[in-house]
Amino acid sequence: MADGLNMSRRIRRTPYTDRVEAAGVRGFSVVNHMLLPKAFERSVEEDYWHLKEHVQIWDVSCQRQVEISGADAAALVQWMTPRNISNAKIGDCLYIPILDDQAGLINDPVLLKLAEDRFWLSIADSDVLLYAKGLALGRGLDVIVHEPDVYPLALQGPRAEALLSEMFGAEIEKIGFFKFGWIDIFGTRQLIARSGYSRQGGFEIYLNGASLGGPLWDKIWQAGQSYNISPGCPNLIERIEGGLLSYGNEMTSETNPLEIGLGKYCSLDGAVEFIGRPALEKIAAAGPDRLIHGVVFNAPACPTCAVPWPVRVGKSRVGAITSGIYSPRLKKKHWAVAY
């Protein structure tokens, strides 16, 4: 298969891409029309072990923010998700499914409540900006929907807290899981959350201002030397072991949240009105047709799961593997997520 991307302006670089290239990136994926590093010099396995022990710096700018502000902002966000957001406080992050009218998943972003009338949706790979704008226009809502100049940079791994505490002050240690606070970066006020696409702990800096990206990377890189910092990216082995779902892989608009274990983020008690509610209630009443499972299997090798691999019992197809990879921890066996 042909490899490599034909880079063009449609595939957006990030404020950190120069640094990522200097750090020896071996390839990119494209998420939200923006580059996401896929691997560095070391193997995915070596990166996995490093992530579990040290700290890594990840360019996750492709986690684009869709900002929704205005008098009807909370109403629009609530309309888009089955998760009841009425008790969310300023400073909270919430993982929320976003549904269409059939209860199919449009996206699974992290919601940040910045003010009573201002939210960010930190999105996975689909055009939520267009969905939100369309809904707002169609309903005549009093909101502004736009993509701010914000580029998340993740520090993941058990040493992330010590490094960031040394750099930006011990205050960050008080930030709870899935909460955010504020730090000073080059004299600017910047958002930092205890979150990230790994189970090893860490933070995400939602850097506001592209021009600060390179200098911020350099500053963290320098301070990180005594913490054995390395460049990294979301690690497929760690994410599958950790059960973190990936939009486009474990879910598409053909998937509903009840099939993939997101029922806990769905208000089915009638407390909130949201798009797809009748469809979701119908599915809940009948019970979902399929359910996601983690599976472990033995195989000599495990290529990238670019198309779902059928799972058969005898001759009948009982499901499909949507993500899979060799587990160096379990040796020989592979982890996968399957229907």
Which residues contact ligand THG (rule: CB under 6 A)?
A: 63, 94-95, 108-110, 122-124, 152, 178, 195-197, 204, 244-245
Angle at 83 between CA 77 and CA 88, to 5 degrees: 70
- Quote the tokens at residue 13: 């670089």
Q: Give the containing element (helix H, strand E) for 114.
A: strand 110-115
The least CB distance from residue 314 to ligand THG, in Å, is: 35
Q: Find the shortest distance in angstroms from Cβ 122 to ligand THG.
A: 3
Which helix (H) or strand (E) segment holds residue 168: the answer is helix 160-168
Other CB atoms within 10 A of residue 281 CB: 15
Which residue, 109 or 319, has its beta carbon nearer to ligand THG? 109
The neighbour count for residue 147, using CB atoms within 10 Å, is 14
Would you say 204 or 259 has its CB closer to ligand THG? 204
Shortest CB 245 distance to ligand THG, Å:
6
Q: Smallest gap, in angstroms, from Cβ of residue 163 to ligand THG?
A: 19
Shortest distance in whole angstroms from residue 221 CB to ligand THG: 21
CB of 81: closest distance to ligand THG in angstroms? 12
Report the chain's C-alpha Rg in angstroms: 20
Tell me whether residue 94 or residue 229 sits nearer to ligand THG (CB atom).
94
Is 105:259 a contact under the CB 8 Å cutoff?
Answer: no
Nearer Cβ to ligand THG (95/297): 95
Distance in Å, CB of 176 to ligand THG, minimum: 11
4: left (phi over 0), alpha (psi -120 to 50) or beta: left
CB nearer to ligand THG: pick between 63 and 230: 63
Q: What are phi and psi of 227, to 5 degrees?
A: -110, 10
Instruction: Single out the residue of 261, 281, 257 nearest to residue 269, CA to CA.
Output: 281
Nearer to ligand THG, 74 or 141 (CB): 74
Three-class SS state of 320: strand
| CB nearer ligand THG, residue 141 or residue 192 | 192
Are 205 and 168 within 8 A, CB to CB? no
